[in-house]
Amino acid sequence: MKALAAAALVLFGLPALAQATQEAKPLEPGREALAIPYEKYTLPNGLEVILSVDRKLPIVSVNVWYHVGAYHEQPGRTGFAHLFEHMMFQGSRNVADDVHISMLEQLGATDLNGTTSFDRTNYFETVPTHHLETALWLESDRMGFLLDALTPEKLATQKEVVKNERRQGTEAAPYGLAQEEAWHALFPLPHPYHGSVIGSMKDLDAGTVDDVKDFFRQWYAPSNATLAVVGDFDVAKTKALIEKYFGSLPSHPKPAKPQVAPVKHTKPVVIRFEERVATLPLLSVQWLTPGYFENGDATADVLATVLGTGKASRLYRRLVLEKQLAQSVTVVQQSQGAQSVFSIDVTARPGVSTDALLKEVDAVLEDVRKNGITPEEIQRARTRIDTRMLAGLQSIGGFGGKADVLQSYNHFVGEPSYVAQDLARYESVTPEVVKQFTRDTLRPDARVILHAVPAPRKQAPAESKERH
Amino acid sequence: MRRLITALVSLSLAGCASQQKPAPTEPTPAPAPSTPAAPADAEAFRATAPQPGKPPELVLPAFQKATLDNGLTVLVSTRRELPLVYAGIVFAAGSAQDPVGKPGLADLTYRMLLEGAGTRDTVALDNALGDLGTSAMQDVSPDGSRLGVRVLTRNLDGALALLSDMALRPTFAPKAFERRKKQQLADLVRRLGSPNALGQLVFLSSTFGSTHPYGHSATGTPDSVQSLTLEDVQGFYKKQVGPAAAALVLTGDISLEDAVALARKHLGGWKAPAALPPAPPAPPASTRQVVYVVPKPGLDQTVMMLGRPAIAAGNPDEFALDLATTVFGGFFGSRLNMNLREDKGYSYGAGAGIDPRLGVGPLTAATSVRADVTGPALGETMKELNGLKSRPITEKELEAAREGLIRAFPGSFETVEGLGSSASVLFMKRQPLDEYSRTVEGLRTATAAEVQRAAEKYLDPSTLQIVLVGDPLLIQEQVSPLNLGKLMPVEPDTEPGKPRATR
């Protein structure tokens, strides 16, 4: 579910669909529970609607994806899609300022939030069944009438809130600024992934009320949104409610998707960063990899699991258990639309240099390039991925719950229940495929290497005796 | 594919959205025989919030219990939608049972269970879990510890074989111990780099006292962990871990009957003398004398924590205090968050909550604010605390908190891990199986007078300790004028006991 939750994609000529042409095959025995029954239709104003009934509890999730994210921002306005997301909670024509969240909380809503990634923005809440209409009313009012209630004061306050969010997550967070610098290096300008989703302080300060209005008019139309309702509800009544609240919202043709050339690195970028917050050195090695659902994405996911999930994984075993040079290892294929990022993060033990860690990481990768990985390792990774997917379907809403799963597949391939095809991608991963991927894509000369090392005075000693 | 294309082609509407009144769009299929009314009238229904329908029956999780001959508790909650089970062993001893001078011992002991068990070493054990598609989730808290996995139903038997090895037959290999201990120490170095972790450390010792069982963090301090030996770990395990002080928790695709059979098979032969530990004593009440300051020169944000020991689970004030704290800081729409975040823009969020434990647990209010508004933000927080008396909790605030807390219950029990966690907490706090019904009843029946009394008693600002982590000069300049107490610096590496001892 990591990829589903984190990712978002712009479907330039649907690059992934070479794989999708295989017919939706029935799920294997033991996997039937992964199939999600759903109904999808489109209102005349272009709003897509996905309905999926799940009666296990008397709750229902309302989840709206707008097919716009940080990818669609203008230069000098990084962080705008996310700042705008905050404005969507600040009231609209018929919903008073600051009421949206409070009202839902008071009804007993759970899993209530909004999130922004590079390629999409979503809003969601899970409510007791008898409050479904209220949730639809709230979502439709901000989809249709946000600008009626927009004021410069509200924008000014939310800029401050977001700047605090940025301080908390970036400036004052361990490795926050260091990782941001690595990200900038991965996607040089003018690639629209260059900026952080949260944006820069300078750009946040620069955003104007007119920017908010333009952004809303361009991207926040029914034609660029998908509404999912998942849980315990009456289908006919809900369709009528959706028609009532969303049917008359004006729209315009779905906006065109920007076309961007992929980034290719031909020589390594090395960043040495003096870390001010964290107390242990971090080595982060990152590559650009194929986008979500493209050929190689599933391979990268399996390899990430083999290298870094669990104590027996290759990097953890060597660096943490055997050589005791590292404190922790995290390996992730961050699947996203235009291009994904494969990263290996290793936190050093006190006194261990990040250069020493890099040597070890390279030795492990070289072994994979030469000898591949074992069928057992691939099988374990697949079982983990299966279990993870099934577990993701337990919640109807929230981060990565059933509504998000339907939305994500819909966003990427236009097919809300794509689980069987998604899993099929993993069936085609073999030791040979992994070996080839590591050779071709995880190249030593096509990566960003970050050494985030605390300034000497900040680096606490390993032995407590030396402290006062 | 087909569906995607349909979606793309269906965009026939012109009429760019703008601020003009939304005219109903032409091609709307008219389900109701509506006369073409003026646009404003047609949209008039939007002006008022919908009236909710009849509320559904409140669905609360059901727990069942059995006890094996050896004293092991078996807790089950059945949920059949998906072939998934959470399987966990919960131990009744937690960081509250760390001996004085040995904070971090429970944590290190439980983490050793994953470093080799039965015939397997660390790597073999992890591979065995990996074959079942899982990794172990582990968590050590003041009132106990949990070790669990989430597996497909078909892998449950195998998972229990591994869990029982970990609980009954840990190898405690000396080499693995030395490595694990070094790892714990380095992890402390890492954790103590976080302003929040530093704040938490000082907060616990300043509110409970350094020698109280709840007065230290579960991870311990560098000094204490450095001093721990393999004998300490084996001693803790021998004294605290056994069937009468543990429960097997199975939630999801499993019945009580099957659970008991599995418990007998894997844990029925478990013999060990450990008994349930006693509840920690109530800490002495105290009023604030000083404001603790953990210096982090140049930090962009200041971490603020305020709090006090409040109540144990089962205290008659529990539900009234839960409601009062929710109005003050428990919701996004609470007084504190609306002031600090939405009105002033000082913070990304501010909140408060209670943590009733087996013994008296803390009430905590916390936020992280832009450094240059540390003084104003703390001033506003005190103003909101004082306001609970001068502007008593209104009927509207109370009902909102009541309805919100009660109606959110079903949504909190969607996952097998969530159910497992709830069952584990029931065991650790020795609560009855119908605790959730009791909670709902308590929240429903707490009167406005009780809630107001709880607010004034437990959220009395003079009784709350204050810990600030941030730039010391800036704090000196902005917080001194508030006259909340003498500012007392606490060095990050100081033992938790020191600040209290010096005052």
CB proximity under 8 Å: A 344-383 to B: 347, 349-350, 379-380, 383
For A350, the closest of B11, B186, B401 (CB atoms) is B186
Which residue stretches of B429-466 are H helix? 435-445, 448-458
Phi (first) and psi of residue A62, to 5 degrees: -115, 130
End-to-end alpha-carbon separation of chain A, Å? 46
What is the structure's pLDDT at B493?
A: 58
| Locus of tokens 């990996």 | B130
Instruction: Please state the φ and ψ torsions of residue A73, each to the nearest 5 degrees.
Output: -80, 165
Q: Does the CB of B498 have a partner CB in chain A at under 8 Å?
A: no
Taking the Cβ of residue B82 and every Cβ of chain A, the question of whether any pair is shorter than 8 Å is answered with: yes
If you count them, how many residues does chain B have?
503
Nearest-CA distance A261 → chain B (Å): 24
What is the model's pLDDT at position B498? 39
Those residues whose C-beta lies under 8 Å from the C-beta of residue A367, and which sit 6 or more positions away, are none
What secondary structure, in 3-state letters, does B114-145 show? CCEECCEEHHHHHHHHHHCCCCCEEEEECCEE
User: What pLDDT, on the 0 to 100 scale, is given for residue B14?
Assistant: 25
Q: What is the pLDDT of residues B267-303, one digit of tens each?
A: 999 999 999 999 999 998 789 999 999 999 998 899 9
Using a CB–CB cutoff of 8 Å, tell me whether A22 touches chain B: no
Lowest mean pLDDT, pick from A87-101, B9-23, B72-86: B9-23
DSSP A335: -
Q: Are A259 and A192 in contact (CB under 8 A)?
A: no
B60 touches chain A (CB under 8 A): no
Residue pointed to by tokens 């529970």? A33
- For B107-138, the pLDDT digits (tens) are 999 999 999 999 999 999 999 999 999 999 99
Structure tokens of B136?
A: 């172990």
Residue reference for tokens 């076309």? A259
- All residues at 6 or more sequence positions from B336 whose CB lies less than 8 Å from its CB, including other chains: B328, B329, B350, B351, B352, B365, B367, B381, B384
Asked if residue B484 has pLDDT above 80, the reply is yes
**Which one is predicted more confidently, A433 or A463?**
A433
Burial of B433: CB neighbours in 10 Å, binned 0-12, 13-18, 19+: middle
- pLDDT band at A98; cut points 50, 70, 90: confident
Question: How high is the pLDDT of residue A311?
Answer: 95
pLDDT mean across residues, chain A: 90
Of the two residues A217 and B11, the one the predictor is more confident about is: A217
pLDDT for B492 equals 56
Q: CB neighbours of B367 closer than 8 A, spacing ≥ 6?
A: B303, B304, B336, B340, B347, B349, B350, B351, B377, B381
Answer yes or no: do A279 and B5 touch at CB < 8 A. no
Q: Are B94 and B103 in contact (CB under 8 A)?
A: no
Predicted confidence (pLDDT) per residue in B383-439, tens digit: 999 999 999 999 999 999 999 999 998 888 899 999 999 999 999 999 999 999 999
Q: Residue B151 has which token pair?
A: 């597996």
Q: A287 has which bridge partners? A: A342
For the beta sheet containing A448-454, the strands, ordered from the edge strand earlier in sequence to the opposite edge, are A269-275, A448-454, A282-289, A340-348, A326-334
- Nearest by CB: A387 against B12, B43, B151: B151
What is the structure's pLDDT at A343? 98
Q: Give yes or no for B195 touching A (CB within 8 A).
A: yes
Q: What is the ipTM of this complex?
A: 0.87
Phi, psi of A48 (to 5 degrees): -80, 140
- CA angle, A211 then A216 then A221, to 5°: 160
User: Which range has the worst mean pLDDT, B32-41, B146-155, B159-168, B465-474?
Assistant: B32-41
Which residue, among B158, B133, B126, B411, has the nearest Cα to A389 in the 3D structure?
A: B133
**Inter-chain CB pairs, A–B, below 8 Å:** 321
Residue-wise pLDDT tens digits, A121-174: 999 999 999 999 999 999 999 999 999 999 999 999 999 999 999 998 999 889
- Residue-wise pLDDT for A59-86, tens only, equals 999 999 999 999 999 889 999 999 999 9
Contacts (Cβ under 8 Å, ≥6 apart) of B330: B322, B351, B352, B353, B401
Q: Do B54 and A130 touch (CB under 8 A)?
A: yes
* Predicted local distance difference test score (pLDDT) of residue A33: 73
**pLDDT higher than 60, residue A4:** no
pLDDT value at position B412? Answer: 82
